[in-house]
Chains A and B, each alone.
Chain A
């Protein structure tokens, strides 16, 4: 019965406090995320504008393309920019995101080194506008942002793409966090199911707890070979405050915030997700259930700083990657 080894019992999952897809949909997304608020996060352009209102830093907007006619004028818009990112405003799961790292002799280079011509980029934007990457195939808008100059301290933990930090924010409390490191297998994208490495982060300090690739434990980055144990996210508290502030900004109770660290601007909000995935439990080696239950018992209308402090106090964990528990805490 060797195939049974890959299966576990529902009772054991419940003991670990794992939240399943059905429970997430009914108990958390269905109950805490009002449908009318979805457009705020499903449309990245709206999120961006809203974030500016609330003083939450986001990557700088180069411009938007809204019509097929506008595709022809994209050349002027991109002129002078050395690196940029094209995103569908209503995309999901990282689909349709095109990262251009540098421009040389009229050729555009992806982080993997593949070169694209202007026509390739125009076709990509044209597909994007007609809704190829959007939820439900509805017509879309292309958002073009500056490339993020991500923090050098994290450089050795990633291969090609930008490592991003996902924080699950429940009723305004940051409950669980992970960092997603792109790998050769994931083609520079930070999607776990495509082969990116997920690293669970200690909510108290921003230090690595546990690394996972393809749902299996891993201790160093598969491409750079760098040890994951020493990974600590700088400016962690600022990042948590930013993430927690997204609750007031959107009103969504169960929220996935994707953040990046910029060399100059510090933590930045990349995008929000009203249906965050469950893989974060794998990277933390712990279920969400107990943390969510604890937050559900907390009163409403607590200020951001108090919520962050509460989470840092209650959700502090020890790393599985190192033997001595005192990982240095990095605060901004």
Chain B
């Protein structure tokens, strides 16, 4: 039995993987290390609506250069539609038009924003205060009381806005605020009251940037014009916090609607985003080489799929860690690749929260599963009951964490529930058959593997390499094939078989 074909395949995989990676490095100037680079956000907006058999006009607000971000490139995809970019002093808009459209329509807009901390917002003159529509009774007295209270406690426009927000949304929310909130959305109400008091303010829409997020929506923010500094300051309408978060991209700043569709119904816009690092020089060059055949990479996919792939491409790293630990070390885990899935959840939750959440869920699950075993249920029904239990535990923990103000606790929803249910089921059987010690050994082994897989998968360099160099996947494959051919001892066997080697010495 010749092993030659095997080594040939491994060699070929290694060779192709290395050549592909080096080619990508040289051709597209993608560096081997994630450092010394500019961060670029790719954001894709998808507009969905149902056309009504007639002419359609779609208006979408577009982001402009602003504090912290610069627009690099932008693209649209919209077959059959006419497209125009419009710009005025309130901001830029894209306008799609078509004479006749039927059925469900999808329009795409994608933009690359370069993160540049020194970029400043263009100078803007304050707009005049829009005509204030008077309140009806009894709302007028409530409105003026709110304004007076906040006015008394403030020194300038900014502090006035903060006090007003706290009166309407914060703990101090009183009767007046609650009455007015029956009429309007909180942020619209705040802007209207600010305007009524003679303060220039507007409602803007922003996108919170988080890597790999899909189907996001814009959130509402409030800008107040500061007369003395002659610039807009941003407020969070929920907390009254002043200033712009680092990861907030202002999408629409004119106080107008983000999306307007004429001739369509059920219109909505959702955003997906992805960040990657590239040298400032390559940011432009990459744009030109987009369509060559050799640029066969996932970077030509729509952003939503790219964000998905960023995670998928990390899975082989996790698998490599598992193969390594099982074949070379001999760690026992509960479920072969369960640790990889747990590690993926850790990426979303952060390590400490993830570990605590995992231990809590499994511990509570084991207690409840212990009761279930008295009920004499069929296996499938019992595991299903455990799944529902896991969901209940996760819900309770999420609510508890939220009540206690632990926002980190909210991320436990990222745990793969079915996998957790099977883990609990297996651990419970293990407990009954082999005792708690084996549960600790296998559970500990799984957690150790998960933590190591997490550390490998969460490493910025690993993320950079796997996402930017697809050839690395072939190299990983070659390594895993080689490990699958290893007939030597496992590390833990050196301990297991130790007694054989020692007691023959005397004789």
Q: Tell me, yes or no, whether A194 is within 8 Å of chain B by CB.
A: yes
Interchain CB contact under 8 A, B487 and A22: yes
Interchain CB contact under 8 A, B500 and A9: no
Q: Tell me, yes or no, whether A16 is within 8 Å of chain B by CB.
A: yes
Q: Tell me, yes or no, whether B327 is within 8 Å of chain A by CB.
A: yes
Segment touching A, from B140-148, B213-221, B357-365, B376-384: B376-384
CB contact under 8 A between A6 and B380, given known A21-B490, A21-B493: no
Q: Tell me, yes or no, whether B288 is within 8 Å of chain A by CB.
A: no
Chain B residues closer than 8 Å to A6, beta-carbon distance: 495, 498
A139 to chain B: closest residue by CB: B379
Q: Tell me, yes or no, whether A264 is within 8 Å of chain B by CB.
A: no
Chain B residues closer than 8 Å to A68, beta-carbon distance: 378
Chain B residues closer than 8 Å to A131, beta-carbon distance: 379
A95 to chain B: closest residue by CB: B433
Measured CA separation A160–B141 after assembly (Å) = 89
> Of the candidates A26, A285, A287, A320, which one forms a contact with B485 in the assembled complex, judged by CB atoms under 8 Å apart?
A26
Residue among A9, A21, A287 having the largest count of chain B Cβ atoms under 10 Å: A21
Measured CA separation A320–B500 after assembly (Å) = 13
Q: Tell me, yes or no, whether A18 is within 8 Å of chain B by CB.
A: yes
Contacting residues of chain A (274-305) with chain B, CB-CB under 8 angstroms:
281-282, 285-287
Q: Tell me, yes or no, whether A126 is within 8 Å of chain B by CB.
A: yes
Tally of chain B residues near chain A (CB < 8 A) = 29
Measured CA separation A132–B502 after assembly (Å) = 40
Interchain CB contact under 8 A, B503 and A285: yes
Interface readout for A1-33 with B: 1 if CB under 8 Å, 0 if not? 000001111101100101011110011000100
Q: Tell me, yes or no, whether A115 is within 8 Å of chain B by CB.
A: no
Q: Tell me, yes or no, whether A70 is within 8 Å of chain B by CB.
A: no
Chain B residues closer than 8 Å to A216, beta-carbon distance: 499
Interface readout for B270-308 with A: 1 if CB under 8 Å, 0 if not? 000000000000000000000000000000000000000
Q: Tell me, yes or no, whether A217 is within 8 Å of chain B by CB.
A: yes
Measured CA separation A7–B493 after assembly (Å) = 9
A137 to chain B: closest residue by CB: B379
Report B360 CB to chain A, min CB distance, Å.
26
Measured CA separation A22–B485 after assembly (Å) = 8
Interchain CB contact under 8 A, A194 and B488: no
Chain A residues closer than 8 Å to B327, beta-carbon distance: 22
Measured CA separation A23–B496 after assembly (Å) = 15
Report A72 CB to chain B, min CB distance, Å.
14
Interchain CB contact under 8 A, B379 and A130: yes
Interchain CB contact under 8 A, A286 and B493: no
Q: Tell me, yes or no, whether B136 is within 8 Å of chain A by CB.
A: no
Report B244 CB to chain A, min CB distance, Å.
53
Contacting residues of chain A (197-217) with chain B, CB-CB under 8 angstroms:
212, 215-217
Report B273 CB to chain A, min CB distance, Å.
41
Q: Tell me, yes or no, whether B486 is within 8 Å of chain A by CB.
A: yes
Report B160 CB to chain A, min CB distance, Å.
66
> Of the candidates B378, B433, B488, B507, which one forms a contact with A10 in the assembled complex, judged by CB atoms under 8 Å apart?
B488
Residue among B330, B380, B499 having the largest count of chain A Cβ atoms under 10 Å: B499
Q: Tell me, yes or no, whether A123 is within 8 Å of chain B by CB.
A: yes
Interchain CB contact under 8 A, B500 and A287: yes
Q: Tell me, yes or no, whether A235 is within 8 Å of chain B by CB.
A: no
Interchain CB contact under 8 A, B488 and A22: yes
Measured CA separation A150–B498 after assembly (Å) = 34
Interchain CB contact under 8 A, B433 and A20: no
Interchain CB contact under 8 A, B488 and A282: no
B376 to chain A: closest residue by CB: A123
Q: Tell me, yes or no, whether A127 is within 8 Å of chain B by CB.
A: yes
Chain A residues closer than 8 Å to B429, beta-carbon distance: 132
Q: Tell me, yes or no, whether B497 is within 8 Å of chain A by CB.
A: yes
CB contact under 8 A between A281 and B379, given known A20-B489, A22-B488: no
Measured CA separation A215–B504 after assembly (Å) = 15
14 pairs from A and B in contact (CB 8 Å cutoff): A9-B494, A10-B494, A16-B500, A22-B488, A23-B487, A26-B487, A68-B378, A95-B433, A132-B429, A193-B434, A282-B497, A282-B499, A285-B500, A287-B500
**Additional pairs, 7, CB under 8 Å, beyond known A10-B494, A27-B487:** A10-B489, A16-B500, A22-B488, A26-B486, A127-B379, A131-B379, A285-B500
Interface of B toward A, CB cutoff 8 Å: 1, 327, 330, 376, 378-380, 429, 433-434, 485-490, 493-504, 507
